[in-house]
Amino acid sequence: MVYLRGALRRALSRSAQMKSKGGSKMEPRFYKLPVCVGDVSLHVAKGHFATRNSHTNYFIDVTNQQSCLKDAEAVAQQLAQRNLTNDTLIDTILCMDGTRVIGTCLAQQLTRSGYRSINAGREICILRENVTKDGSMIFRDNAKFMLEGKNVLLLLASVTTGGTAQKGISCVQHYQGKVVGIAAIYSHVKEIGGIRVVSLFDTGDLPGYASYAPEECPLCRQKQELDAVVDKFGYSAL
């Protein structure tokens, strides 16, 4: 489980207190959205979920896309058909939220010989995020060449507040790289720091989706207990 900060600790404490009064609770129930992009579909659960940066009323399950080759290839194929970087060459794909399998498939799609892409026939590096215990993002000396002076595409599973992506942008800039695009399976926002977010699914596909700062969460104010804590690896039911 990720390292929990103050607001999340307090939310967990409130949830534990309510649960001790109301007994055990079932795990979130998932259903498939009635919309597909190619062979890509989303499974979601409605409830009360806590991430590192926010509380949400939906959990979007991208486990299959993150882990299964066939599903990862389907995501990559759909993303490759979009103009991810406004016709800017990509040197490196920075894979966040456990998207390394998708990132590898995407690089293969973008560099495929004969494919209509400005990256066709080029080399694209695949770089995985390296997050420390305090939540900071760093890269070892042997990986710096993939960022220094490079055009970088950020790849995420889902974007809610944009906090994780913003952290990626800041880190790339720290290592003298340039983020030229942000890609995701699902995004709640259209741009981050002036950079367009290209996603397969957005709020139009999930009406009613909401994200709140932990201290402003109306579900907490209504004393609705947390269903699960969420991080890039998935969820832990409470």
Contact between 120 and 113 under an 8 Å Cβ cutoff? The reply is yes
Tokens of 43: 């499974």
For tokens 């139009």, name the residue.
204
Distance of alpha carbon 111 from alpha carbon 92, whole angstroms: 12
Find how far residue 177's CA is from the centre of its chain.
Answer: 20
Q: Please report, for the chain, the start and end positions of each structural domain, with discontinuous segments joined by +.
A: 6-237
At residue 167, the pLDDT reads 93
Q: How many CB atoms lie within 10 A of CB 172?
A: 24
Looking at residue 18, what is its pLDDT? 47
Distance, CA of 146 to CA of 16 (rounded, Å): 44
Taking the chain (238 residues) in consecutive chunks of 10 residues, what is each chunk's mean pLDDT? 45 48 67 91 94 91 95 96 94 96 96 78 93 86 96 96 93 97 96 96 92 94 94 87
Q: pTM for this one? A: 0.85
The reported pLDDT for the residue numbered 4 is 43
3-class DSSP assignment, residue 180: strand
The predicted structure's pLDDT at residue 35: 87
Query: Contacts for 87-90 with beta carbons within 8 Å, 24 or more apart?
Result: 87/118, 88/118, 88/151, 88/180, 88/181, 89/118, 89/119, 89/122, 89/151, 90/119, 90/124, 90/151, 90/152, 90/153, 90/180, 90/181
Contact 126, 143 (CB under 8 A): no
User: Any residues with CB less than 8 A from the CB of 164 and at least 6 apart, and which?
Assistant: 52, 53, 96, 97, 156
Q: Of 61, 58, 59, 65, which is closest to residue 38 (Cα–Cα)?
A: 65
Q: Strand 125-128 and strand 92-95: pairing?
A: parallel
CATH no. for 6-237 = 3.40.50.2020
Which pLDDT does position 48 carry in this prediction?
96
Q: What is the pLDDT of residue 114?
A: 67
Alpha carbons within 13 angstroms on the beta-carbon side of residue 231 total 10
Distance CA 180, CA 26 (A): 42
CA distance 61 to 43: 5
Predicted pLDDT at 27? 76
Estimate the share of the chain in helix, then strand, then coil, as percent rounded to the nearest 5.
30, 30, 40
